[in-house]
């Protein structure tokens, strides 16, 4: 069980200001993995346990205590948060700032000027690169000992889970042929769950993301109350979002099709939905 803050009740300028938090870009992840595979570097996966709880809060925030926390005679009291809590609007940003501080000041890393969620350290024979997505870290290093030393360093600051050689990252599977120095990304599990979610398990497969010479216009959007009612319960925007993640990670061949259909997300018609399926 996890205690979560009611961030929807927060007021900007009162108990939070900025919320932006950098996250590594998928093209950056591909470059880092490809470089490590080509150079035959070590590639490992580490995640920080309860990452947000490691970040000190700058703002003053009080919350109603969970049931069972207060002792007899303390009724009516509230709790002041000292660390970030899942659900707070600024929790992600707080963790990123704390994580960056540790990497830059405590561990001697340098932050990439291209992607602010990538940190690297090069001294002597060591060359270590770490890509961070919230609490997940893809660690690549020229030598096995450097990966081991990095883990020993960060456990002094946070509790971690060491997954060893990378196999899964951000929900996709990573397969490596070290002998051939190749690496591949597989989203089969994600695709199967998405197909099942939208009840398309019995759908027929097609060879291309979009039919040749297909044209989609606003003329195909609902224009009457009855037409709009027919599309009301169609999860079009949710499906677009699901497929977009697939395009970003492993299926760029569907980028044009998804980009075209995304233009009708505000008022999709049956033709757009059929094309999306």
Nearest CA to 220 among 171, 184, 274?
274
Q: Tell me the C-alpha distance between 239 and 242, whole Å.
A: 5
pLDDT value at position 36?
Answer: 95
Neighbours of 32 (CB within 10 A): 23
Is residue 18 predicted with pLDDT exceeding 90? no
Task: Supply 173's token pair.
Answer: 């599977």
Please compute the mean of the pLDDT values over residues 68-82 and round it to a whole number. 84
Q: DSSP assignment of 237-266, as one string?
A: HHHHHHHHHHHHHT-GGGHHHHHHHHTTTT
Please compute the mean of the pLDDT values over residues 161-188 and round it to a whole number. 92
Among 3-12, 36-45, 125-134, 171-180, which stretch is predicted with the lowest mean pLDDT? 3-12
Q: What percent of the chain has pLDDT over 90?
A: 62
Q: What percent of the chain has pLDDT over 70?
A: 100
pLDDT in tens, 197-244: 999 998 888 888 898 888 999 999 988 888 888 888 899 999 999 999
Is residue 3 predicted with pLDDT exceeding 90? no
Neighbour-count burial of 123, counting CB atoms closer than 10 A to its CB (0-12 exposed, 13-18 middle, 19+ buried): exposed
Is residue 2 predicted with pLDDT exceeding 80? no
Show the domains of the chain with their CATH numbers. Answer: 7-67+77-185 (3.30.70), 188-276 (no CATH)
Please compute the mean of the pLDDT values over residues 162-170 and round it to a whole number. 92
Asked if 182 and 176 touch (Cβ cutoff 8 Å), the reply is yes
pLDDT value at position 232?
Answer: 86
pLDDT in tens, 43-54: 999 999 999 999
Q: Tell me the C-alpha distance between 34 and 109, whole Å.
A: 21
Is residue 92 predicted with pLDDT exceeding 80? yes
Mean pLDDT of all residues belonging to the chain: 91
pLDDT band at 79 (very low <50, low <70, confident <90, very high): confident
pLDDT value at position 49?
Answer: 93
Q: Tell me the C-alpha distance between 129 and 263, whole Å.
A: 38
Nearest CA to 150 among 46, 24, 55?
46
Asked if 255 and 205 touch (Cβ cutoff 8 Å), the reply is no
Q: DSSP assignment of 41-102, as one string?
A: -EEEEEEETTGGGGSBP-S--EEPPPTT-SPTT-TT--EE--B--TT-TTHHHHHHHHHHHI
pLDDT value at position 37?
Answer: 95
pLDDT value at position 153?
Answer: 96
Q: Tell me the C-alpha distance between 277 and 272, whole Å.
A: 9
pLDDT band at 1 (very low <50, low <70, confident <90, very high): low
Task: Supply 214's token pair.
Answer: 């297909």
Please compute the mean of the pLDDT values over residues 142-151 and round it to a whole number. 95
Please compute the mean of the pLDDT values over residues 91-116 and round it to a whole number. 94
This prediction has a pTM of 0.82
Q: Which tops the pLDDT comparison, 72 or 28? A: 28
Mind spelling out the 3-state secondary structure of 16-40? Answer: ECCCCCCCCCHHHHHHHHHHHHHHC
């Amino acid at each position: 069980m996890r205690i979560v803050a009611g961030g929807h009740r927060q007021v900007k300028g009162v108990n939070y200001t900025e919320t932006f938090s950098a996250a590594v870009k998928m093209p950056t992840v591909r470059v880092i993995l490809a470089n490590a595979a080509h150079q035959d570097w070590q590639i490992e996966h580490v995640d920080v346990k309860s990452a947000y709880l490691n970040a000190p809060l700058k703002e003053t925030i009080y919350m109603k205590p969970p049931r069972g926390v207060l002792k007899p005679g303390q009724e009516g009291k509230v709790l002041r948060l000292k660390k970030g809590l899942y659900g707070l609007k600024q929790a992600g940003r707080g963790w990123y700032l704390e994580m960056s501080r540790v990497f830059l000041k405590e561990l001697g890393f340098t932050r990439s000027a291209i992607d602010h969620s990538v940190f690297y350290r090069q001294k002597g024979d060591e060359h270590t690169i770490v890509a961070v997505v919230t609490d997940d870290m893809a660690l690549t290093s020229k030598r096995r000992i450097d990966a081991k030393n990095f883990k020993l360093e960060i456990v002094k600051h946070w509790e971690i889970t060491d997954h060893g050689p990378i196999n899964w990252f951000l929900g996709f599977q990573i397969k490596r042929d070290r002998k051939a120095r190749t690496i591949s990304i597989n989203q089969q599990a994600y695709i199967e769950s998405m197909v099942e979610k939208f009840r398309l398990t019995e759908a027929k497969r097609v060879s291309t993301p979009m039919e040749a010479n297909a044209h989609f216009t606003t003329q195909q959007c609902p224009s009457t109350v009855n037409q709009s009612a027919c599309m009301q319960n169609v999860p079009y925007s949710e499906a677009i979002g699901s497929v977009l993640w697939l395009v970003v990670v492993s299926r760029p061949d569907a980028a044009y099709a998804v980009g075209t259909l995304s233009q009708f997300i505000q008022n999709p018609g049956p033709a757009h939905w059929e094309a999306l399926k």
